[in-house]
């Protein structure tokens, strides 16, 4: 004679359907609150990093602009020794404009590549959605099992 097979474990077997649904709802609410807090924190961190970078770039750009003006005047004055003065300043101006346009195009390209999507938070939300779906299916199976046993 063989030993009877043990009944499969049912972690929710002693809870009513209402209790099960309330537990899932509470867990889902807590999970969503935690994920929203994580998302907000991640976005705040990204914005803070971006603000610091913009400040530094603005200060650096201002200092560079002052230096570039001084150097361009000096260069134009030096070229004025061999070219007409107006031609020397026009040449230096044209070179500066070409360099500025190249930098603007490069900056616009890099701005398009900026990733402002909070990847970690999105991964967690997807993981939580799978968990909620699994819990709902488990509860549904437990409810069906109770109906069969009743």
Q: How confident is the model at residue 20 (pLDDT cuts 50, 70, 90)?
A: confident
pLDDT tops 60 at residue 8: no
Label residue 109 by pLDDT band (50, 70, 90). confident
pLDDT of residue 35: 81
pLDDT in tens, 35-88: 888 888 888 888 888 888 889 999 999 999 899 899 999 999 999 999 999 999
104 has a pLDDT exceeding 70:
yes
* Other residues' Cβ atoms within 10 Å of the Cβ of residue 92: 20
Q: Is residue 35 within 8 Å of 118, Cβ to Cβ?
A: no
The residue ranges of every structural domain in the chain are: 19-114+124-136
Question: Tokens at residue 39, please?
Answer: 């998302």
Torsion 68-72-78-79 (CA) sign: positive
Q: What's the pLDDT at 94?
A: 94
The whole-angstrom separation of Cα 59 and Cα 54 is: 9
Which pLDDT belongs to residue 124?
Answer: 81
């Amino acid at each position: 004679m063989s030993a009877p097979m043990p009944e499969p474990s049912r972690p929710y077997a002693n809870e009513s359907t209402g209790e099960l649904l309330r537990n899932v709802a509470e867990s889902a609410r807590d999970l969503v609150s935690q994920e929203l807090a994580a998302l907000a924190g991640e976005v705040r961190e990204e914005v803070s990093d971006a603000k610091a970078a913009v400040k530094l770039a603005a200060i650096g750009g201002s200092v560079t602009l002052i230096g570039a003006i001084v150097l361009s005047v000096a260069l134009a004055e030096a070229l004025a020794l061999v070219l007409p003065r107006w031609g020397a300043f026009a040449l230096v101006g044209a070179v500066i404009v070409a360099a500025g346009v190249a930098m603007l195009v490069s900056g616009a390209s890099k701005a398009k590549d900026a990733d402002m999507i909070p990847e970690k938070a999105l991964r967690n939300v997807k993981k939580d959605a799978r968990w909620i779906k699994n819990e709902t299916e488990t509860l549904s199976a437990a409810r069906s099992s109770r109906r069969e046993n009743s």
